[in-house]
């Protein structure tokens, strides 16, 4: 109404101005008497002023005020509580405003509501029940009365400030742990140990003081940290630079010590926080260390860092302890079922064969799930070639349904080369089994889907075969590992180490020596892995169509045909052998039609972190993902976006949110 009156006033002023100009022109040009005409114009002006004044008063009289509806007492209460109301008509024009707005010096009667407060759009459309707007430095919560053209304004500034303050002061419990500390100082003299301690502990103490955290040393390599949400947000903003600082400090004194941290938050129950932070630290370390594991109660685990490859830190003592525990579980079981991952490779089948031979030597009926979940092409060909020999050795390959029929109360299920039931070729068996053991070398994911009674996950190991070969003398020294079994194990190690180029330590070669002593023939193993001429052509074709991106990133999209995951990984390895390539990603549909990525890096790019963001996993330098909800083109788009988000922060600490 107010806007319409303003428009009419402007139009009337233009008309009167025009009349005045014409009158003066007539008097000047034609020498006419203009006083009667000027008198008429003055009368028009007076009448118009009276009319407009009358219309404004009439509009106000016709509009029932909020105060007359609610009463003076109610309005006083609204004003005291800093509540306001705005009434609008069918055209969303403001027709009434409460005294709150008068106190703020705001008068929008006659104006369109959304031109004044665009934030109310979702509220008016029904898309939201509550909206927020900032007026005169205060925050107001907007709600709409159902079926009535009224919006209520509630001042929530103080409440929001209290909420923010309460959130910032919530307790966060953390543990900091120096990885490889005991191994690095085991044979050092006291002077060297003191120097190492000063080099790595001082930065942590300074970091805690700078961020005003409570820090207390629990042991030589472990610290308790107490902080609040505000400080925690500062650490996130800082990208946990202490990881990089400790890494550099350790390199300066020539030791392989890194820092793992765990942060638990989201509850005021200290027992829950203690349980959470302990599990998180274990999770960070089993993923290779040099990273931060974070969890808010009820939410998924997030990871920071993980920028360096895991180093060997398992001891012979731990291998012996784990092996003896496994031996006891086998002896107390009725039978054993060995499960591998889907699209089983040589590492999976080789370790499964070794585990089966150990359990069989202890007198237990053993079966290997290999008829479901798929096999890599070369593994399938090798198994078919030697199937009769395996049958003669007593190896029993079965399907998942057959394994379910063999499952009993005391059955022991051993998962090799994987630790998540979603990746397993026997997930139903693992979920229903009472006793499950995990032997794996992949970085641990936050969810496994089972609760194992024994778990042996070593991310520093090159392969599952490396772990299993070390266990054989302790679990079953009389195990009949045949040259055929050993050759499969050798092939698994060759593939997972990329022909001894990555993830190899002294223990890796020790394990290879053990396998060689069982008759494992490298020449036979390499024979299993030979590629056909068609595969050679395909590799060259894919590589010729690969795209190079900044930072040595190479992405190859295979859209013309389906290829095996094994072939994808081989192509990625070959791309990585090209000078200047830091990371290679091969994207294609596998034989089952899934959209897949096989990722490889030289260690400077954390491909595991990238694959985890896309729903996969693996190692720092070798990872993969399989998706059934995206095309390969869409998967490539998401991959590029994720690489861009990583920002090329190689060897830097970065949030995995999944962060």
Return binding residues for Mn(2+). 341, 345, 347, 417, 441, 496
Residue 43 CA to residue 25 CA, distance in Å, equals 20
Q: Give the H/E segment covering residue 625.
A: strand 622-627
Residue 206 CA to residue 628 CA, distance in Å, equals 48
Nearest Cα neighbor of 638 from 587, 564, 590 is: 587
Strands (E), 137-190: 138-144, 150-155, 171-179
The conformation of residue 595, written as its DSSP 8-state character, comes to: E
The stretches of 476-601 forming alpha helices (DSSP H) are 483-496, 506-517, 522-529, 533-544, 565-576
- What the block records as the tokens of 343 is 């699209």
Contact 418, 340 (CB under 8 A): yes
What is the DSSP annotation of 196-262? HHHHHHHHHHHHHHHTT-EEEEEETTEEEEEEEHHHHHHHHHTT-HHHHHHHHHHHHTT---EEEEE
Order of strands across the sheet that contains 171-179: 214-219, 222-228, 171-179, 258-265, 291-296, 302-305, 655-656
- What the block records as the tokens of 128 is 């939201």
Residue 284 CA to residue 177 CA, distance in Å, equals 10
Give the count of beta carbons closer than 10 Å to the beta carbon of residue 209: 10
Check the CA dihedral 114-118-124-130 and report its sign: negative
Strands (E), 280-322: 291-296, 302-305
Annotated binding site: 341, 345, 347, 417, 441, 496
Strands 335-339, 365-369: pairing is: parallel
Strands (E), 89-170: 94-97, 131-135, 138-144, 150-155
Nearest Cα neighbor of 316 from 542, 510, 120 is: 510
Residue 252 CA to residue 190 CA, distance in Å, equals 18
The conformation of residue 426, written as its DSSP 8-state character, comes to: T
Q: In Å, what is the CA distance from 156 to each residue of 139, 142, 153, 544?
A: 6, 10, 9, 61
Half-sphere exposure of 62 (CA within 13 A, CB side): 8
The conformation of residue 621, written as its DSSP 8-state character, comes to: S
Distance of CA 463 to the CA centre of its chain: 25
């Amino acid at each position: 109404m107010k806007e319409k009156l303003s428009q009419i006033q402007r139009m009337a002023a233009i008309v009167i101005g025009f009349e005045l100009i014409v009158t003066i022109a007539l008097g000047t040009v034609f020498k006419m008497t203009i006083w009667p005409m000027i008198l008429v114009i003055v009368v028009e002006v007076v009448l118009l002023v009276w009319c407009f004044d009358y219309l404004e008063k009439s509009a106000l009289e016709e509009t029932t005020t909020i105060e007359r509806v609610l009463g003076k007492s109610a309005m006083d209460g609204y004003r005291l509580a800093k509540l306001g109301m705005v009434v609008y008509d069918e055209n969303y024009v403001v027709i009434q405003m409460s005294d709150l707005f008068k106190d703020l010096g705001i008068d929008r009667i006659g104006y369109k509501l959304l031109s004044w407060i665009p934030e109310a759009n979702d509220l008016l459309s029904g898309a939201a029940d509550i909206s927020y707007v900032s007026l005169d430095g205060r925050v107001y919560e907007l709600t709409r009365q159902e079926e009535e053209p009224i919006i209520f304004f509630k001042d929530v500034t103080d409440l929001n400030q209290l909420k923010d303050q309460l959130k910032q002061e919530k307790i966060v419990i953390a543990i900091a742990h120096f990885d490889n500390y005991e191994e690095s100082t085991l044979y050092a003299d006291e002077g060297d140990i003191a120097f190492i301690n000063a080099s790595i502990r001082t930065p942590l103490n300074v970091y805690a003081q700078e961020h005003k955290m409570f820090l207390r040393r629990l042991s030589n390599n472990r610290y308790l940290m107490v902080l609040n949400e505000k400080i925690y947000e500062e650490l996130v903003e800082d990208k946990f630079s202490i990881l990089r600082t400790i890494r550099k400090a350790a390199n300066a004194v020539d030791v392989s010590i890194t820092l793992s941290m765990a942060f638990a938050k989201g509850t005021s129950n200290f027992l829950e926080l203690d349980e959470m932070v302990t599990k998180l630290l274990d999770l960070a370390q089993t993923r290779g260390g040099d990273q931060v594991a974070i969890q808010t109660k009820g939410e998924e685990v997030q990871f920071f860092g993980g920028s360096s490859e895991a180093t060997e830190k398992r001891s012979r003592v731990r291998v012996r302890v784990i092996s003896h525990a496994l031996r006891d579980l086998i002896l107390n079981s009725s039978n054993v079922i060995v499960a591998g991952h889907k699209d089983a490779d040589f590492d999976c089948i080789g370790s499964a064969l070794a585990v089966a031979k150990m359990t069989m030597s202890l007198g237990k009926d053993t079966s290997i799930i290999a008829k479901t979940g798929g096999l890599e092409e070369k593994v399938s060909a090798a198994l078919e070639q030697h199937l009769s020999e395996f049958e003669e050795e007593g190896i029993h390959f079965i399907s998942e349904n057959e394994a379910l029929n063999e499952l009993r109360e005391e059955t022991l299920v051993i998962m090799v080369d994987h630790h998540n039931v979603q990746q397993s070729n026997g997930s139903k068996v693992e979920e229903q089994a009472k006793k499950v053991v995990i032997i794996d070398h992949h970085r641990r994911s936050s969810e496994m889907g089972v609760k194992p009674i024994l778990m042996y996950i070593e991310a520093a190991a090159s392969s599952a075969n490396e772990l299993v070969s070390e266990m054989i003398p302790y679990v079953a020294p009389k195990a009949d590992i045949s040259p055929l079994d050993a050759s499969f194990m050798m092939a698994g190690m060759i593939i997972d180490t990329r022909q001894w180029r990555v993830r190899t330590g002294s223990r890796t070669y020790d394990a290879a020596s053990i396998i060689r002593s069982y008759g494992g023939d490298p020449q036979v193993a390499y024979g299993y892995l030979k590629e056909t001429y068609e595969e050679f052509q395909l590799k060259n074709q894919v590589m010729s169509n690969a795209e190079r991106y900044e930072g040595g990133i190479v992405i190859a999209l295979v859209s013309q045909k389906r290829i095996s995951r094994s072939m994808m990984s081989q192509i990625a390895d070959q791309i990585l052998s090209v000078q200047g390539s830091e990371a290679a990603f091969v994207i294609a549909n596998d034989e089952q039609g899934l959209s897949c990525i096989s990722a490889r890096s030289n260690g400077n790019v954390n491909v595991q972190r990238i694959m985890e963001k896309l729903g996969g996993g693996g190692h720092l330098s070798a990872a993969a993902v399989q998706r059934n909800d995206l095309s390969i083109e869409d998967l490539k788009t998401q991959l590029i976006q994720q690489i861009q988000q990583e920002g090329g922060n190689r060897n830097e600490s970065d949030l995995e949110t999944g962060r």
